[in-house]
Amino acid sequence: MSLFTARGEEANGSSGIDLKNAYIRLKKDQDSAKVRLLSVTDQTVGQYKAHNDYKKNIYTAPCIEPLGEECPYCVALNSGVEGWEKFYPKKRMIITFVDLETGKVKAWDASGKQGESVKKQILQYEGNKDQFPFKLVRNGEDTDTSYSLMPILSPTEQDTKNFEKAKEVEVPEDFLDSVLIPKPRKTMIANLANAGFPVEDFFSADELPEGNGGQQSSEEPVDEEPEEIGQSEIDNM
Ligand SMILES: [Zn+2]
């Protein structure tokens, strides 16, 4: 089973991979990455749903319901507890590019709106993707962020070399699934507890973090840095 709810053109609306380097991360206004565009297929574009609430220090994490598991974040959403009624999972997208600097297949993770816009641009440039390298550019900060693709019309010699090499790179069939990793339930529950959700009323004792009546555990589940999965900024949904 997969966390993705839609793929490829239809996306409207685990394999020892190094997650730190698997993503293209554009952190500030005007940051950019040189890429080779890939056709929009089930292997290159995926849509999924994720919860986040930066004010509660809960960073973007895929909703695990598509895996057929009870999602602790959805439990909080549906709990009726005040302050959690907007914790619904929102659409996000992962789009695959070949990064020209490294020659590696990389994922780019975005809000649904940002992802849709870039997917549309890729579809428009479909006929030019073997002709030009492109630049994926971030415009703006925080909720004002959008992304655009621009053909590099006068590539440097190095760009051209990298671009030609990138044409031979193939996307592993399970690439999307290998970069979208669910958080363990226990970590999600610990994050809820840290954010003040009454976890002891909704989850069994063996899943509770230490200090909430749960078992002693040597490994304290801690939420990852915001950059781990999604983007650190509050995305424009
Ligand atoms: Zn959920």
Residue 73 Cα, ligand 1 centroid: separation in angstroms?
5
* Predicted local distance difference test score (pLDDT) of residue 17: 64
Residue 35 Cα, ligand 1 centroid: separation in angstroms?
32
User: pTM (2 decimals)?
Assistant: 0.83
Residue 63 Cα, ligand 1 centroid: separation in angstroms?
4
Residue 131 Cα, ligand 1 centroid: separation in angstroms?
41
* Predicted local distance difference test score (pLDDT) of residue 76: 98
* Predicted local distance difference test score (pLDDT) of residue 232: 37
* Predicted local distance difference test score (pLDDT) of residue 210: 80
What protein residues have CB closer than 5 angstroms to ion ligand 1? 63, 71, 73-74, 89
Instruction: Give the torsion sign (CA, 235, 92, 98, 103).
Output: positive
Residue 17 Cα, ligand 1 centroid: separation in angstroms?
24
Residue 34 Cα, ligand 1 centroid: separation in angstroms?
34
Phi, psi of 161 (to 5 degrees): -60, -50
Helices (H), the chain: 19-22, 72-77, 112-124, 157-166, 175-179, 185-194
* Predicted local distance difference test score (pLDDT) of residue 224: 52
Residue 53 Cα, ligand 1 centroid: separation in angstroms?
13
Q: Would you say how long the chain is, in residues?
A: 237
* Predicted local distance difference test score (pLDDT) of residue 228: 39
**Number of continuous H segments (helices) and E segments (strands) in the chain:** 6, 8
Residue 50 Cα, ligand 1 centroid: separation in angstroms?
7
* Predicted local distance difference test score (pLDDT) of residue 143: 81
Residue 14 Cα, ligand 1 centroid: separation in angstroms?
20
Which of 232, 205, 101, 229 has its CA nearest to residue 158? 101
Could you give all domains of the chain from N- to C-terminal order, each with its CATH number?
A: 6-182 (3.90.198)
* Predicted local distance difference test score (pLDDT) of residue 222: 52
Residue 74 Cα, ligand 1 centroid: separation in angstroms?
4
Residue 78 Cα, ligand 1 centroid: separation in angstroms?
10
Q: Retrieve residue 194's tokens.
A: 């840290």
Residues of the chain with pLDDT under 50: 12-15, 216-221, 225-237
* Amino acid residing at 217: S
